């Protein structure tokens, strides 16, 4: 081959500005949350050499995994414009259900299945009370949470106990140090496919966006809402069993509402709207990472528990402000807030610079 052969021109593929605008418009909250997570990781790595280590990676995963699973459980309900306050109490009672069935002579695996079915039944009650009796989900699930707390305290007499079973099954359910992280990843993958790739998931988004339009288009709105409460209760119960085997102890006096609020906070940080109609499983996981890093990082720095609660509270407040302003920034209707105007100006400048480079 001759050396005089001209070299072929290198073709540079550019992402069209319209595609980038659409992507940023659809995933702006997730992008912002990801940047916050990266900034937190850099900050804690600089402040403490113990943060970015393999040993702390395990500890960090044990912070993030419960937050993520609770957030994944709440996302479908929140998209519908509802909320489930009893999911944290499902977390408390489910391992006690396993113990109860096992003491009745049922094998461990079957006891786990029965406990999860009971949680599904309790979620079904939440859904029926909220949908059929028209009781606001806040009140219906709050009543369920207090009722379950009373039941489990009466059953256990307020005394902690140990989870039953041993061997490989227990290791899979939570005994292995990384079990919670793998359960969280698996549930996240399944929930993401469910929300984005199934008719049921698309109907959840449609109902959350406009209930009346969804009903007129033939979607069974009540059916969708009820089964989202069942799904939320199932995941809360599963997390309780996994964490019970991980900790090796069951305390009936644990405050389940705290775990529920961590899940809702993670979902909101990740972009799920409390008013309904918007939310992603990926964003919920990113929000759980942000919240987990805040908890883990400040503990490594030796921050007191009082200051840690203050930082967590401020994080929730800032996340909500960003959530509302980003919603205004990406909405085509209504006036945009100051943050929305800033986002629009920055994006316009970015697009114009890209067009100028393409022309040159």
What is the structure's pLDDT at 1? 47
Q: pLDDT tens-digit profile of 1-27?
A: 445 555 555 545 555 555 656 665 566
Architecture of domain 28-325: Orthogonal Bundle (1.10)
Q: If phi over 0 gives left and psi between -120 and 50 gives alpha, with beta otherwise, what is residue 14?
A: beta
Distances (CA, A) of 27 to 270, 272, 335: 10, 11, 20
Query: Which of 29-38, 98-107, 324-333 has the lowest average pLDDT?
Result: 324-333
Cα distance between residue 146 and residue 256, in whole Å: 10
Place of tokens 């359960």: 183
Cα distance between residue 134 and residue 256, in whole Å: 25
Q: Name the residue with higher pLDDT: 103 or 355.
A: 103
Mean pLDDT (whole number) for 267-277: 86
Cα distance between residue 283 and residue 87, in whole Å: 20
Mean pLDDT (whole number) for 261-283: 88
Q: pLDDT tens-digit profile of 286-340?
A: 999 999 998 898 889 888 877 888 877 887 687 667 666 766 665 554 454 555 5
Distances (CA, A) of 133 to 2, 128, 184: 84, 7, 34
Percentage of the chain lying above the pLDDT 70 cut: 81
Phi, psi of 317 (to 5 degrees): -65, -45
What is the structure's pLDDT at 46? 92
Question: Is the pLDDT score of 232 beyond 90?
Answer: yes
Cα Rg of the chain (Å, integer): 23
Q: Name the residue with higher pLDDT: 359 or 75.
A: 75
| Spatial contact of 144 and 84, defined as CB atoms under 8 Å apart | no
Question: Is the pLDDT score of 163 beyond 50?
Answer: yes
Cα distance between residue 322 and residue 71, in whole Å: 18
Compute the residue count for the chain. 360
Question: Is the pLDDT score of 212 beyond 80?
Answer: yes
Q: Does pTM top 0.75 for this prediction?
A: yes
Query: Which residues is 250 bridged to in the sheet?
Result: 161
What is the structure's pLDDT at 333? 46
Q: Number of C-alpha atoms within 13 angstroms, CB side, residue 232?
A: 33
Place of tokens 């997730």: 30
What does the DSSP assignment read for 182-244?
Answer: HHHHHHHHHHHHHHHHSHHHHHHHHHHH-HHHHHHTT--HHHHHHHHHHHHHHHHHHHHHHHH
């Amino acid at each position: 081959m001759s050396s005089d052969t001209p070299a072929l021109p290198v073709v540079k593929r550019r992402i069209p500005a319209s595609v980038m605008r659409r992507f940023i418009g659809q995933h702006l909250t997730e992008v912002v949350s990801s940047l916050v997570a990266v900034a937190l990781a850099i900050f804690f790595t600089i402040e403490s050499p113990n943060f970015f280590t393999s040993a702390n990676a395990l500890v960090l995963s044990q912070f993030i995994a419960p937050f993520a699973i609770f957030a994944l459980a709440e996302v479908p309900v929140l998209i519908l414009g509802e909320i489930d306050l009893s999911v944290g109490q499902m977390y408390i009672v489910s391992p006690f259900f396993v113990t109860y069935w096992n003491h009745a002579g049922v094998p461990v695996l079957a006891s786990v299945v029965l406990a999860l079915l009971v949680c599904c039944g309790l979620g079904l009650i939440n859904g029926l009370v909220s949908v059929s009796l028209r009781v606001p989900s806040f009140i219906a699930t709050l009543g369920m949470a207090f009722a379950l707390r009373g039941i489990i305290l009466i059953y256990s007499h307020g005394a902690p106990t140990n989870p039953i079973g041993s061997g490989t099954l227990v290791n899979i359910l939570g005994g292995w140090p990384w079990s919670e992280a793998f359960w969280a990843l698996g549930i996240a993958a399944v929930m993401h496919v469910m929300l984005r790739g199934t008719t049921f998931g698309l109907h959840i988004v449609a109902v959350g966006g406009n209930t009346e339009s969804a009903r007129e288009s033939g979607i069974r709105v009540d059916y969708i809402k009820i089964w989202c409460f069942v799904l939320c209760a199932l995941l809360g119960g599963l997390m309780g069993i996994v964490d019970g085997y991980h900790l090796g102890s069951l305390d009936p006096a644990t405050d389940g509402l705290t775990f529920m609020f961590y899940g809702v906070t993670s979902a909101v940080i990740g972009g799920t709207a409390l008013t309904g109609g918007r939310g992603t499983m990926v964003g919920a996981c990113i929000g759980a990472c942000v919240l987990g890093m805040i908890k883990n990082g400040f503990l490594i720095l030796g921050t007191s528990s009082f200051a840690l609660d203050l930082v967590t509270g401020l994080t929730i407040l800032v996340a909500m402000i960003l959530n509302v302003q980003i919603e205004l920034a990406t909405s085509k209707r209504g006036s945009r807030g100051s943050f929305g105007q800033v986002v629009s100006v920055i994006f316009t400048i970015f697009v114009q610079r890209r067009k100028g480079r393409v022309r040159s």
